Amino acid sequence: MTITEEIQSLKKEKNAVILAHYYVRPEVQEIADYIGDSYYLSKIATELKEQTIVFCGVSFMGESAKILNPDKTILMPDREADCPMAHMADAAMIQEMREKYQDLAVVCYINSTAELKRHSDVCVTSANALKIVKALPNQNIFFIPDKNLAHFIAEQVPEKHFIYNDGYCPTHDRMQEKEIRSTMAEHPAAQVLAHPECPASVLDLADYVGSTSGILKYAAESSCKEFIICTEEGVAYELRKRNPDKQFYFTETIPICPDMKTITLEKILRVLESGDGEVHIDTQLREQSKLSLERMLELAR
């Protein structure tokens, strides 16, 4: 049996389903039952009938799935795969802002620890942040942890007052205007599609800014045939699969999230065989952090 066949047969035997983010390796996306962006994956995790979910992504994704589905078994092929940005805010800062600003909403990007979610009013992803921030009755918005997404949303909601935090995604934040301009010079007919985790200097060059699913949708619907993609390179697998007639380019320094790439077929097989890599969250933390995630699902609907 090939490793893929072994995974498929164990999956059936264990009543398991495999979820994967667009940033994981192509061979992992290929065996996944559901592939998507952070919003889609958190939503679909609440709709599955299987008892076990193998979550091919980073820690906050498996944690969110467990928080929303406490009775399910969530297995992560690599428990060390973590998003550095998820830790780039703290509860003390939230408390300080709550004391300083009346009418404050703490809006927490889903790329965050359960501890941060517990202290927040609502979670968002890049696919629904604008809709949710607009729907909030609050005037003051403390947006954690991502400063780039915060600035991108704030520009579109000038009627609200934003307070920024200093977090960022190391993979997206290091993307440089200079490199994008030189890729644009090489491919003058290409449109630039960027993820809002990129710095403002990059977003200013973009024809479209959106989540990974947004980028996929835009590329499929556009009459343009060439695109410069400013997000993690894993998305190229689905872009090329859906659009075999179109060309996708990346900057010379290819944006790669090292944590997403630690997920391999071998690790998926191992957790299915052994049950290792299970996500456990303390009951009180789970109950408290669930509120901001559920509010996101409700407001994004």
Q: Pick out residues in 183-212 that bind ligand 13P (CB under 6 A).
A: 195, 197, 211-212
Q: Which of the choices ligand SF4, ligand 13P, none does residue 20 contact, using the CB cut-off of 5 to 8 A by kind? A: none
Shortest gap between Cβ of 172 and ligand SF4 (angstroms)?
Answer: 6
Task: Rank residues 40 and 142 by Cβ distance to ligand 13P and give the closer one.
Answer: 40
Residue selected from 120, 126, 251, 292 as contacting ligand 13P according to rule CB under 6 A: 126
Q: Pick out residues in 69-88 that bind ligand 13P (CB under 6 A).
A: 83
CB 38 within 8 A of CB 214: no
Rounded-to-integer distance, Cα 99 and Cα 101, Å: 6
Q: Which of the choices ligand SF4, ligand 13P, none does residue 38 contact, using the CB cut-off of 5 to 8 A by kind? A: ligand 13P
Rounded-to-integer distance, Cα 119 and Cα 173, Å: 25
Q: Which of the choices ligand SF4, ligand 13P, none does residue 37 contact, using the CB cut-off of 5 to 8 A by kind? A: ligand 13P
Nearest to 7 by CA among 269, 273, 276, 198: 269
Q: How many residues comprise the chain?
A: 301
Helix (H, G, I), strand (E, B) or coil at 8: helix
**Interface with ligand SF4, residue 93, by CB under 6 A:** no
Nearest to 147 by CA among 85, 95, 201: 85
The 10 Å CB-count burial string (b at 16+, else e) for 148-161 is bbbbbbbeeeeebe
**Interface with ligand 13P, residue 138, by CB under 6 A:** no
Residue 33 DSSP code: S
Shortest gap between Cβ of 108 and ligand SF4 (angstroms)?
Answer: 14
**Interface with ligand SF4, residue 83, by CB under 6 A:** yes
**Interface with ligand 13P, residue 148, by CB under 6 A:** no
Rounded-to-integer distance, Cα 62 and Cα 85, Å: 16
Site map 251..280 versus ligand SF4, x via CB under 6 A = ------x-xx--------------------
Shortest gap between Cβ of 119 and ligand 13P (angstroms)?
Answer: 21
Task: Rank residues 88 and 269 by Cβ distance to ligand 13P and give the closer one.
Answer: 88
Structure tokens at 160: 């609200």
- How would you class 21 by CB atoms within 10 Å of its CB: exposed for 0-12, middle for 13-18, buried for 19 or more? buried
Question: Nearest 5 degrees, angle CA 105-CA 151-CA 80?
Answer: 80
Task: Rank residues 84 and 214 by Cβ distance to ligand SF4 and give the closer one.
Answer: 84
Task: Rank residues 23 and 142 by Cβ distance to ligand 13P and give the closer one.
Answer: 23
Q: Which residues bind ligand 13P (CB under 6 A)?
A: 37-39, 83, 111, 125-127, 169, 195, 197, 211-212
